Amino acid sequence: MTKAHLLLENGELFAGKPIGFIGTTVGEVVFNTSMSGYQEILTDPSYKGQIVTMTYTEIGNYGVNSDDMESPKSFIEGFIVKEASEIASNFRKENTLDNYLKDNKIVGISGIDTRKLTKIIREKGSLIGVISSEDKSIDELKNKISGYSIVGKDLVQHVTTKQPYKFNKKLFHFDFQNKRIKKTVDNKKVLVLDFGVKENILRYLVEVGFEVEVVSAYTTYNEIKAYNPDALFFSNGPGDPRGVDDKWIKEYKKALNALPSFGICFGHQIIARCFDMNVYKMKFGHHGGNHPVKDLINDKISVTAQNHNYAVDDNSLEDKEFIVTHVNLNDNSVEGMKHKDLPIMSIQYHPEASPGPHDAEYLFEQFASLVK
């Protein structure tokens, strides 16, 4: 039987069984604490450059379906699970996890001690790793890891849209569910700068009443003006926001001074860069659906979905005309901010969840009200 191996840059070696595509892949190994939502994680463009470890023990038991995809393809570098379910049972199922991984050429490994791996990452921080289900020696795997890094790299170029497009899909609801979010604006166009946007973000923007048009992250201020938008949205995206060239930061700054704007995750960090705030790499980041965040404006605590390895330095906000609006209750890191004078708000976590709780979806209504 074919075996698979995971080798970390610190020398730790795990032996397991292959799942998905047979091959070799390299990436930054992180862990995600979500108990479900693996297909949303697999199709989140923010994971470009990373190999994801699922901490929940059994993955794949409800298969995959087209409704819950966050992008048309997967950008994840590799997938690690404790047990890949051989049975996929759900009335919405269209495919199995294993077949999806094979179809999208995603190399995976199962049958390893993911609890041990997670503890290593928590102690050492995010590590470069290589998964291989091919017949390769340890030295060959070490060579794959050598020199690999996504720090300071612009990964947006691999995930941003090549052509502008309009988006008009609404949120998926079962027939018995009531809508949780209100239509707040009419005939207002929001232009989405695509750093690696998740479709559920776009669905929420449509749900609150926006006309949504998505453009490349590499769009100049003059090009933005030509679309005649009422608002600007900075999307989530992969990797290090410091890797985006300064020339684009200058273009975004012009737009921020002219339009009501909202940023999520990577977009939040890009907005911080536009106002000369510092962004730093976290030890192992936040990835999962159970992070408590306090809204300092309304004194409300939400359980949130998160996926980021970088954060805004709160000390650098003090003289930049921004105030902190949200903090993470686990480590006190900055989770949200807003400008004191300009209509600009940003959030580090994912209010659209997918996967995760819906506690923070009110922020889309808040943005729509800001534009209105």
Q: Spell out a b/e string for 220-259, using b for 16 or more CB atoms within 10 Å of the CB, else e.
A: ebeebeeeebbbbbbbbbbbbbbebeeebbebbbebbeeb
pLDDT digits (tens, 9 = 90+) for 245-295: 999 999 999 999 999 999 999 999 999 999 999 999 999 999 999 999 999
Of 206, 216, 138, 198, residue with least CA distance to 169: 206
Q: Which domains are delineated in the chain?
A: 4-145 (3.50.30.20), 156-371 (3.40.50.880)
Catalytic entry in 28, 70, 211, 352: 352
Q: Has residue 177 got a pLDDT over 70?
A: no
Alpha helices in 5-64 (DSSP H): 38-42
pLDDT tens-place string over residues 218-259: 999 999 999 999 999 999 999 999 999 999 999 999 999 999
pLDDT at 168 over 80: yes
pLDDT confidence bin for 329, thresholds 50/70/90: very high
Bridge partners of residue 263, in order along the sequence: 234, 346
Question: Does 83 qualify as catalytic in the annotation?
Answer: no
- Residue 265 annotated in active site: yes
Instruction: Read off the pTM.
Output: 0.96
Q: What residue type is 121 in one-letter code? A: I
Q: Is 345 left (phi over 0), alpha (psi -120 to 50) or beta?
A: beta
Q: What is the DSSP letter of 342?
A: S
70 a catalytic residue: no
Q: Is 186 helix (H, G, I), strand (E, B) or coil?
A: coil
User: At a CB cut-off of 8 Å and minimum separation 6, what does 299 contact?
Assistant: none
Residue 163, token pair as written in the block? 């052509």
Name the H helices within 158-226.
199-207, 221-226
Give the pLDDT score at 1: 55
Report d(CA 95, CA 31) in Å as an integer: 24
Closest by CA position to 78, among listed 96, 104, 60:
104
CB 173 within 8 A of CB 200: no
Confidence of residue 317 (pLDDT cuts 50, 70, 90): confident
Distance CA 122, CA 86 (A): 30
The single residue of 207, 350, 361, 365 carrying the catalytic annotation is 350
Q: What's the confidence (pLDDT) of residue 243?
A: 97
Residue of 265, 335, 361, 365 marked catalytic: 265
pLDDT in tens, 54-76: 999 999 999 999 999 999 999 99
